[in-house]
Amino acid sequence: MPESKSRKKKVVPAGPAETASAKPQGNPRWLVPTMLGLMLAGLAWIVTYYLTAPGMGLPIPALGGWNLAVGFVLIIAGFGLTTRWR
């Protein structure tokens, strides 16, 4: 029985959209230092709040217990940036 000729598929050159997506995407340079800086600043804020005497005026005496919220917001913002880390 005779064999049929196999068809060759045409090779389409890669367009600009395919070459841009093939480029490896890394982290922006500011991401890791900002992420770590926010987490450490939040930790330092909370530690400062707990370790200082009430008369020293650190970190912000008018906020009172809300100083903990400020520290945790800084830490959560740092963890939020970790979702962009590749």
Cβ(48)–Cβ(70) under 8 Å? no
User: pTM, whole model, 2 decimals?
Assistant: 0.68
pLDDT, tens digit, for every residue of 52-77? 877 787 888 888 889 999 999 999 99
CA distance 44 to 30: 21
pLDDT, tens digit, for every residue of 9-55? 777 777 666 555 566 688 899 999 999 999 999 999 999 998 887 77
Element (DSSP H or E) covering residue 19: helix 16-22
Angle at 34 between CA 43 and CA 67, to 5 degrees: 30
